[in-house]
Amino acid sequence: MKHFSVFSLGLKKHQMLFFIIGIALIVGCDGGKEQLNVFTWSGYVSDDIRKGFETEYGVNVIVDTYANNEDLLAKLQAGATGYDIIMPSDYMVSIMIKENLLAELNRDNIPNLQNINSLFLNKYFDPNNTYSVPYTFGTAGIAYDSSVVNPAPDSWSVFWDEKYKNQFSMLDDQRETLGATLKLLGYSLNTNDPEELEQAKNKLIAQRPLVKQYKSEAEELLIAGDVAMAHCWSGDAFRAADVRPSIRYVIPKEGSSQFIDTVCIPKSAPHKDLAEKFINYLLRPEVNAKITEFTKYGTCVPDAKNHLPKELQKHEFIYPPAEIMESLEWLIDQGDFTKQYSRAWDEVKAK
């Protein structure tokens, strides 16, 4: 019996080498493993979580990050098609649903949906969780190094104090940064009054010479000691405080924002089934607990708490006291008025 082999194609040795390399490239040097592409916030998927899923499912997980919801939206609108998992915040989920960018979730593939606390389900931005699964929740506020910033700040106005020129960063995020300024001015961070937005824009333009950097990954600056103070999300402040215990976090007295970040699958996802497996994996209580330990944001899976150290089960960075919770607003999709926010923000950044 004649065996079929590359030799039987009449290939010479060097031709055979090219043939084999070619096949290896087609199959992928990793043996043709399926690849899950995750596009998320920095500090949201740890190596541990990634590797756990890779090992269990025999796949590769690639994690890429964005600084804000609008950058994520712009990427998808520009036709990026490689992403299987994205993690937009609440108001961005409603925008993406309207823009027809999200895939409907097949709930049969995500039985662990039942692990989610119903408090986090059926929210205004996706009334039946047709497209999104809650991942984490948190707030925005001020992270500051108490060994430098004295007295302790309690107002957004500290970011306009000349004393801290070049010593602080603001979030690179149009809704959050305009939102904090609107709160300082006594307005809603969901205003759609052009005059109020104009005032916030001008206030940020006046602040510009004092700002060291606009950066969403504020924990990196705080840990490195590049800034003594940052407009920052709660979990990132918490992570920085783990490394530098002199770091504190405060929600200013004028109030601030709170958010739920979600997990979604873009309509264009190349590996939808695998993405649903990944979501189901994230919702296992023991995996979800690891997420909380790493991200330092709140968990939407109550049983995850059984796997968490005591101090994380009710830390005030994650669970602010009731009177502070009352001062928080959710960012809401502003529809057509969103353009005005983008325009105002572009002007601030261009100065």
Shortest CB 44 distance to ligand N2P, Å: 6
Of residues 235 and 271, the one with the C-beta less far from ligand N2P: 235
CB–CB of 291/43 below 8 Å?
Answer: no
Shortest CB 232 distance to ligand N2P, Å: 9
Interacting residues with ligand N2P (CB under 6 A):
41-44, 89, 233, 235-236, 259, 261
Tokens for 227?
């800034």
Shortest CB 350 distance to ligand N2P, Å: 24
CB–CB of 318/234 below 8 Å?
Answer: yes
Of residues 41 and 341, the one with the C-beta less far from ligand N2P: 41
Measure the CA–CA gap between 2 and 104, rounded to whole angstroms.
Answer: 52
Measure the CA–CA gap between 103 and 156, rounded to whole angstroms.
Answer: 39
Of residues 45 and 116, the one with the C-beta less far from ligand N2P: 45
- Sign, CA torsion 130/131/134/139: negative
Query: What does DSSP assign to residue 103?
Result: P
Of residues 68 and 277, the one with the C-beta less far from ligand N2P: 68
Query: What does DSSP assign to residue 265?
Result: -
> Phi and psi (nearest 5°) for 117?
-65, 125
Q: How many CA atoms lie within 13 A of 91 on its CB side?
A: 19
Shortest CB 162 distance to ligand N2P, Å: 29
Shortest CB 318 distance to ligand N2P, Å: 13
Measure the CA–CA gap between 157 and 50, rounded to whole angstroms.
Answer: 40
Of residues 235 and 252, the one with the C-beta less far from ligand N2P: 235
Shortest CB 123 distance to ligand N2P, Å: 15
Q: Which of 170, 151, 175 is nearest to 159 (CA)?
A: 170
Of residues 43 and 255, the one with the C-beta less far from ligand N2P: 43
Of all residues in this chain, which one has the CB nearest to ligand N2P in the complex? 41
Measure the CA–CA gap between 38 and 47, rounded to whole angstroms.
Answer: 13
Shortest CB 324 distance to ligand N2P, Å: 18
Of residues 43 and 153, the one with the C-beta less far from ligand N2P: 43
Shortest CB 220 distance to ligand N2P, Å: 10
Shortest CB 178 distance to ligand N2P, Å: 15
Of residues 41 and 345, the one with the C-beta less far from ligand N2P: 41
CB atoms < 10 A from the CB of 71, how many? Answer: 14
CB–CB of 283/112 below 8 Å?
Answer: yes
Where are the strands (E) in 146-296, listed by range? 168-170, 213-214, 229-233, 247-250, 256-264
Of residues 281 and 294, the one with the C-beta less far from ligand N2P: 294
CB–CB of 135/207 below 8 Å?
Answer: no
CB–CB of 59/34 below 8 Å?
Answer: yes
Residue whose pair of structure tokens reads 């997420």 in the numeric block? 291
